[in-house]
Amino acid sequence: MRVIITILLSVAVLATFLSLGTWQLKRLAWKQAVLTEIDARISAAPVGIPADPDPAADRYLPVTATGVMGEEELHVLVSTRDHGAGFRIIAPFEVDGRRVMVDRGYVRVTAKDAPRVTGPMEVSGNLHWPDERYDSTPQNDLVGNYWYAREVAVMAAALGTEPILIIARSETDPSVLPLPVTSEGIPNDHLQYAMTWFLLAATWIVMTGYALWRMKRPTN
Query: Taking the domains of the chain in order of start, what are their residue ranges?
Result: 2-38+188-216, 61-168
Which residues of the chain have a pLDDT value below 70? 1, 3, 217-220
Angle between helices 190-216 and 2-42 (to 10 degrees): 170
The pLDDT score that the predictor gives to residue 83 is: 86
The pLDDT score that the predictor gives to residue 9 is: 80
Q: What are 57-90's pLDDT values in tens digits?
A: 999 999 999 999 999 999 999 998 888 999 999 9
Cβ distance 9 to 166 under 8 Å? no
Q: State the fold for domain 61-168.
A: OB fold (Dihydrolipoamide Acetyltransferase, E2P) (2.40.50)
The pLDDT score that the predictor gives to residue 113 is: 92
Cβ distance 12 to 96 under 8 Å? no
Task: Report the Cα–Cα distance between both ends of the chain, in Å, rounded.
Answer: 21
Phi, psi (degrees; rounded to nearest 5) at 5:
-60, -40
The pLDDT score that the predictor gives to residue 217 is: 67
> Nearest CA to 99 among 176, 172, 142, 156?
156
Cβ distance 181 to 129 under 8 Å? no
The pLDDT score that the predictor gives to residue 219 is: 59
SS3 of the chain? CHHHHHHHHHHHHHHHHHHHHHHHHHHHHHHHHHHHHHHHHHCCCCECCCCCCCCCCCCCCEEEEEEEECCCCEEEEEEECCCEEEEEEEEEEEECCEEEEEEEEEEEHHHCCCCCCCEEEEEEEEECCCCCCCCCCCCCECCCCEECCCCHHHHHHHHCCCCCEEEECCCCCCCCECCCCCCCCCCCCHHHHHHHHHHHHHHHHHHHHHHHHHHHCCCC
